[in-house]
Structure 1
């Protein structure tokens, strides 16, 4: 079988092949970046890894934006392409929503890649484990964004839930049952609604939810305990797909 690319060096590739190589390089950068974080977390623990990630992300973003701007000829303002600063609020929200949809699409693509290769059980196992890592990371990110402090309590959690990626995709609500109890409901779930529109039963996401919400809540405030009120395959009313109760275990 002849070589797909007979060139011996990148410089010898055709323009068409160079165009294909650009997203390939981007892919390598993203995976390598993630592997660095994963290995630091493995060897030094999550708190140390997050502290180093904070520094690495700021430096990496600045370097990459500056270099890409110089190469492609776009202006960089405050570390970001100037075109973004020129967008109005509506356009920026549209962009954030598009990014959220891409995030969810990636999640589904990975799930199906494992499911079609190894079966549903392995896909769910990998999915649940992934949430055990992503939820604390997202909680850490949001705490930094909002300046919530170390133990912001249930009020902080209620705010933080509104800044998850999922908050741009689904319809959700929160309310306080009492001073030490917060209830969160996923009123409209994009994934489950899509299944319902096709006449399919709810996807049984409870195993992932038990990890996702508990780890996120503890990431916001280590005193918060999580209880599942209901989540598929549990039966649920028409006005929510899953619901969770959060309590402060040792209120000051």
Structure 2
């Protein structure tokens, strides 16, 4: 790119395309900043209410405009090309989205770790999960139309719709009439480290936030206990395990 460009009209074809991509990036960040600031000023509940209104209206407006420019129609709020894809292709697209999510999480972690060290990276990571887990629980509750306080069965269903569920292998074992055990049998991150001969990543502090906040956001009566999570020692058939207890 030339050292100096004074107006958009000075851009060539490739530069114009790059600017459009950058504008999409700005939209994403601005969207997140709106939610973050409302949460800061008015609390999570009000922020989620605003998010519901803004996301539904904003999605409709933006997809309609994009459809006109890119030449696709919408049907019931979904781009028609997606509905015309096979179930296999949609599954591939879902896997791609999930892989992009975990990759994005990793590059953010490393962006802090490589400049400020592991302690700051873990601190930022754990705090991020304190906000993301309730948000993900909220979106899943809406998607599944779960009622308030849906109990352990509601939590079991919700755990199957986390993004992690598309990346990892997990299992559930009923522990008692008022509890069940959730195990992460295969973890994408830990399995990769294992293949490289590295020690487990010590994710317990983040997991305590992640699972506690998620379960509580599905049903406020559910208590979370950690059975084991790295750096804890664990058997070969799982990396972390959690007990969820319904307190009536």
By the TM > 0.5 criterion, same fold? yes
SS of 2:124 mapped into structure 1: helix
* Alpha-carbon contact 1:66-1:79 (below 8 Å) kept: no
Q: TM-score, normalised by structure 2?
A: 0.98
Q: Distance in 1 between matches of 2:92 and 2:61?
A: 26
Q: Distance in 2 between matches of 1:68 and 1:204?
A: 43
Report the Cα offset of residue 9 of structure 1: 1.2
Match of 2:129 in 1: 131
Match of 2:189 in 1: 191
Q: TM-score, normalised by structure 1?
A: 0.96
Match of 1:247 in 2: 245
Which of 198, 207, 210 does residue 209 from structure 1 map onto? 207
SS of 1:232 mapped into structure 2: coil
Give unpaired runs (5+ residues) of structure 1.
none
Q: Distance in 2 between matches of 1:88 and 1:73?
A: 20
Q: Distance in 1 between matches of 2:2 and 2:46?
A: 44
Match of 1:17 in 2: 15
SS of 2:58 mapped into structure 1: helix
Q: Distance in 2 between matches of 1:121 and 1:35?
A: 25
The within-5 A match list for 1:29-178 is 29-178=27-176
Q: Distance in 1 between matches of 2:149 and 2:134?
A: 14
Give unpaired runs (5+ residues) of structure 2.
none
Question: Does 1:238 find its partner at 2:236?
Answer: yes
| Alignment coverage as a number of residue pairs | 248
Report the Cα offset of residue 50 of structure 1: 0.7
- Report the RMSD for the aligned CA atoms in angstroms: 1.1
